[in-house]
Amino acid sequence: MNIIPKKKLIILMIQLYLILNLTIQAEGENRNSIELQQSEWLFNENLAWDLLLAQETIGFRYPGTAEHLETQVFIENYFSGLSEWTFTRQTFEYNGVNLANLIVEKESSNTLKWVVLGAHYDTRAKADNDTVDTSVPVMGANDGASGVAVLMELARVVAEKMFNSSIRLIFIDGEDQGSGGMAGWEWIVGSSYYVDSLSESEKDEIECFILLDMIGDENLNIHWEKNSDIGLREEIWLAADALGHAEFIQGEKYGMKDDHIPFIQAGIPAVDIIDFDYPYWHTRNDTSDHCSAASLNAVGQTVEKWLTEKVGLNETDPSISTPSDDNKTTLMLVFDGTIIILIIALKRKRNLKF
């Protein structure tokens, strides 16, 4: 039996130490690369665009029509294919017409606070800004379908990325019939009804509300909206800036009476992401040929990035099975300790000096 010379033994121990250390480092890098893969942007502009076109195919979607009900079914069916979300219908009557806010939720056990995103799905019954015929309805490719399309595609993204937060999406009814759109109707009927229906504790549980409206214009210019929460809109516009989406312009231009107002009045920080420089607003020409997939992408990707930073990815994702940093540190301490004990034992046994 050969006795290993003491020098060789020391070199062997150092080699062992380095090998284990490198293995653990490689494991850490592998985990980082999984995290990096997960943070790539998943928003798909083509899927969002198809969702916009599908609503246009349904037709004019103002309250009281078969097309309005068909839009509800279209949204409900979409969520029946996304099992992470639960779908509920908040029905109510307004001026003798049945309305429904469609509410979908993905609840996380990690937090009680809800991040709420919304878009109105009704389209205007009267094209009162049209220069030729003001008696016909508005198709609402931009004013209605664009926000809904981005919200639906974001739902797929959120389900896939498992954001570490409770997220609620509201497809809002009855936004767009004020000022004579339908006789005797107010603006923002659905969002007002929704906020009124919340208890004080339910309001407290909402961290913020983000509204998407008229975001499909092929010449997209989204200025800061004047009634929006200042800190929150800065966060979102900075996310756009980091992605190079110059469609988001840091500077106020318009103040809107839109679905974010009832939330603000209830003390909930809210932002309206809206491009109000749309020449086809409330005309017969609010159609998909004046919208673009790239515009939907600018907004969808920005909200995806902002959400990722706001609420993060879910660290309990079961697809990540590598050891945690704490486990790695513990493993290294145990190994270091073993090396020290071995060296002391050898020194004592052989009276080694080094």
Please say which residue, 158 or 182, places its beta carbon nearer to Zn ion: 182
CB neighbourhood size of 178 (10 A) = 15
CB neighbourhood size of 9 (10 A) = 16
Least distance (Å) from Zn ion to the CB of residue 229?
22
Specify the stretch interacting with Zn ion by CB under 5 A; choose among 32-40, 83-91, 94-102, 169-177.
169-177
Run of H or E residues at 274: strand 270-274
Distance CA 264, CA 328 (A): 46
Under DSSP, is residue 255 helix (H, G, I), strand (E, B) or coil? coil
Least distance (Å) from Zn ion to the CB of residue 64?
17
Residue pair 238/286 in contact by the 8 Å Cβ criterion: no
Specify the stretch interacting with Zn ion by CB under 5 A; choose among 142-150, 152-160, 234-242, 335-343.
142-150
176 binds Zn ion (CB under 5 A): yes
275 binds Zn ion (CB under 5 A): no
Adjacent-strand bridge partners of 248: 222
Place of tokens 């992605």: 243
User: How many residues bind Zn ion, per CB under 5 A?
Assistant: 2
Please say which residue, 143 or 207, places its beta carbon nearer to Zn ion: 143
49 secondary structure, DSSP code: H
304 binds Zn ion (CB under 5 A): no
Burial of 5 (0-12, 13-18, 19+ CB in 10 A): exposed
Specify the stretch interacting with Zn ion by CB under 5 A; choose among 17-25, 172-180, 204-212, 234-242.
172-180
Residues 35-74 that bind Zn ion (CB under 5 A): none
Least distance (Å) from Zn ion to the CB of residue 282?
6
Please say which residue, 28 or 178, places its beta carbon nearer to Zn ion: 178
Please say which residue, 176 or 229, places its beta carbon nearer to Zn ion: 176
Please say which residue, 143 or 153, places its beta carbon nearer to Zn ion: 143
Least distance (Å) from Zn ion to the CB of residue 183?
17
258 binds Zn ion (CB under 5 A): no
Please say which residue, 17 or 254, places its beta carbon nearer to Zn ion: 254
Specify the stretch interacting with Zn ion by CB under 5 A; choose among 21-29, 135-143, 197-205, 328-336.
135-143
208 secondary structure, DSSP code: E
Specify the stretch interacting with Zn ion by CB under 5 A; choose among 34-42, 60-68, 139-147, 340-348.
139-147
Q: Which of 259, 312, 28, 7 is nearest to 148 (CA)?
A: 259
Residue 225, Ramachandran bin (φ over 0: left; ψ between -120 and 50: alpha; else beta): beta
Distance CA 36, CA 33 (A): 5
Least distance (Å) from Zn ion to the CB of residue 143?
4
Distance CA 236, CA 259 (A): 18
Which residues lie below 8 Å from residue 55, measured CB to CB, with a gap of 6+? Answer: 61, 71, 74, 121, 140, 141, 144, 145, 148, 149
Sign (positive or negative) of CA dihedral 161, 202, 74, 152: negative
Least distance (Å) from Zn ion to the CB of residue 264?
19
Least distance (Å) from Zn ion to the CB of residue 180?
12
Least distance (Å) from Zn ion to the CB of residue 65?
16
143 binds Zn ion (CB under 5 A): yes
Least distance (Å) from Zn ion to the CB of residue 226?
18
CB neighbourhood size of 319 (10 A) = 7
Specify the stretch interacting with Zn ion by CB under 5 A; choose among 61-69, 162-170, 175-183, 252-260.
175-183
Please say which residue, 146 or 166, places its beta carbon nearer to Zn ion: 146
Distance CA 230, CA 131 (A): 36
| DSSP assignment of 84-105 | T-EEEEEEEEETTEEEEEEEEE
Which residues of the chain form contacts with Zn ion (CB under 5 A)?
A: 143, 176
